[in-house]
Amino acid sequence: MTASTTVNKGDSPNGDSSASSVLHQKVLGSRRFSNYWWASVVTLGATGFLLAGISSYLKVNLLIVTDPTQLIFVPQGLVMGLYGTAGLLLALYLWLVILWDVGGGYNDFNRETGYIKIFRWGFPGKNRRIEIDSRVQDIQSVRIDIKEGLNPRRALYLRIKGRRDIPLTRVGQPLPLAELETQGAQLARFLGVPLEGL
């Protein structure tokens, strides 16, 4: 769910976490290693296909590893050029999502002020900044959602009166079950609400 969790220990002399008043969780968005990896792989592969298509048309070798000048432009070189163009468009999308850090943000829970704030970055536009503010007393529970199978899902949700359940975990790779349970229990204890879904 989080890249880091910071708890303000307050004025408690022994640093007891029960006396803490602020819980700040940084949520990792698109700037994950796997996204950088796939964006790089797609960029390199698509560039190779596009250069192969151009090489077959110009009859000039633009690649180091092979000689695509022997390919007939129609249909082989043309198809490789189209694959390369489509791949570069996909790579551009992946790099832009990483640049915009879509899904990144933080969860702030402040018992001192009595308010929580959930913040995420979205795609550019009028809804780029996604902010949800609520009162701590309106929180009903912390819910763990676990779905195993072909497309597993493990996520934490915040159940608030009069709203849909708010997801607190990152999108993408599911968290390990032990980590999810620990974070859910820590948050439920901090907010003083029940933990559901176990």
Helix (H, G, I), strand (E, B) or coil at 173: coil
Structure tokens at 122: 């979205």
β-pair type (22-27, 105-110)? antiparallel
One digit per residue, the tens of pLDDT, for the chain of length 198 reads 444 555 554 444 344 444 578 999 999 999 999 999 999 999 999 999 999 999 999 999 999 888 898 889 989 999 999 999 999 999 999 999 999 999 999 999 999 999 999 999 999 999 899 999 999 999 999 999 888 888 788 889 999 998 889 988 877 777 788 888 899 999 999 999 999 887
Cα–Cα distance for residue pair 166/134, rounded to 1 Å: 11
Assigned token pair, 151: 């497309």
| Furthest CA-CA distance within the chain | 78
CB neighbour list of residue 159: distance below 8 Å, 6 or more residues apart? 139, 140, 141, 142, 143, 165, 196
Hunting for tokens 């992946």 — which residue is that?
94
